[in-house]
Structure 1
Amino acid sequence: MFDIGFTELIVIGVVALIVIGPERLPKVARTAGHLYGRMQRYVSSVKSDISQEIQLDEMRRAGQDFKASVESAVSGIEQQATVVDDYLRDEASSVNKVVSAMAVTEGERPVTEPATKQIEMEQAPQQSLPLDEPDQNTVTPTLSAVVETARAEPAGKSP
């Protein structure tokens, strides 16, 4: 701070002893020490306040930058959502057109099914079997029958 050497301090001390006198010099030195301490505390307080304000300003800037980046991301997502929404609306309208076209031609046979099969199905009598009784033409083996058959066969032979 100040460039004061040892000889300059001795000169200041001798002048203060002559001007103030030996009786009041200790009291003045004590008061000067208290004032110097207060001044140092005040300067350090101001420095810390300035440092805190600088950090707070940096935090505000970072917050504003983050907010701007979030807003840009949200706007980008909204734009993509509108593109997807428009695409889905177009697809829904094309599906509705196909469905309405199919409703007009409802009496016609499907393209994937051969005509003979469709005629056979229309002319064949509908037979319904009771749900309790299995069809006599089909054989459904039970699990126990399959296990017994597997045990009865020798290990090396295949059916």
Structure 2
Amino acid sequence: MFDIGFLEIIVVGVLALLVLGPDRLPGAMRSVAKTFRSVRNMASGFKQEVEEQLRVHELHENLKKAEQQGMKNLSPDLQKSVDELKSAAESVKEPYDKEKI
């Protein structure tokens, strides 16, 4: 990813040891690792959110196509999207039906 070789890592490590000293180096390494972890988690969350938004957009487009066809003679892909949206609507409606009982 960064194209850093073993020799470069050794040089950076020695420089960090000289600049920070042996007392502060472990804390600095933990801090850097924590920062990389948080950046990676943030990127992963962003990627998941974008994928979810694309899936919702695709379902919306498929629903528009199905409505244009009058909800009849739908292709299997469109029918699957319509069925998924119907089940999602039922699952949202379900808790409210239980409250009325």
Same fold (TM over 0.5): yes
Partner of 1:3: 3
Quote how far apart the aligned CAs of 1:2 are.
1.1
Partner of 1:41: 41
Map 1:13-24 → 2, pairs under 5 A:
13-24=13-24
State how far apart, in whole Å, the 1-side matches of 2:72 and 2:35 are: 55
Quote how far apart the aligned CAs of 1:5 are.
1.2
**Match for 1:11: what amino acid?**
V
Partner of 1:63: 63
Map 1:86-125 → 2, pairs under 5 A:
none
State how far apart, in whole Å, the 2-side matches of 1:46 and 1:57 are: 16
Q: Percent of counterpart pairs with the same letter?
A: 32
Aligned length: 73
SS in 1 for 2:70: helix
- Which structure would you say has the larger Rg? 1
State how far apart, in whole Å, the 1-side matches of 2:46 and 2:54 are: 12
State how far apart, in whole Å, the 2-side matches of 1:43 and 1:62 are: 29
Quote how far apart the aligned CAs of 1:72 are.
8.7
**Match for 2:44: what amino acid?**
S
Higher relative CO (Cα under 8 Å, sequence separation at least 6) belongs to 2
**Match for 2:65: what amino acid?**
D
Partner of 2:32: 32
Q: After superposition, what is the alpha-carbon deviation per residue over 1:100-158, rounded to whole angstroms, capped at 9, x for unaligned?
A: xxxxxxxxxxxxxxxxxxxxxxxxxxxxxxxxxxxxxxxxxxxxxxxxxxxxxxxxxxx
TM-score normalised by the chain length of structure 1: 0.43
TM-score normalised by the chain length of structure 2: 0.67
Quote how far apart the aligned CAs of 1:66 are.
0.5
Long gaps (5+) in structure 1? 74-159
Quote how far apart the aligned CAs of 1:29 are.
0.4
When you count helix as a share of all residues, which structure comes out higher? 2
State how far apart, in whole Å, the 2-side matches of 1:70 and 1:33 are: 55
**Misfit runs of 4+, over 2 Å:** none
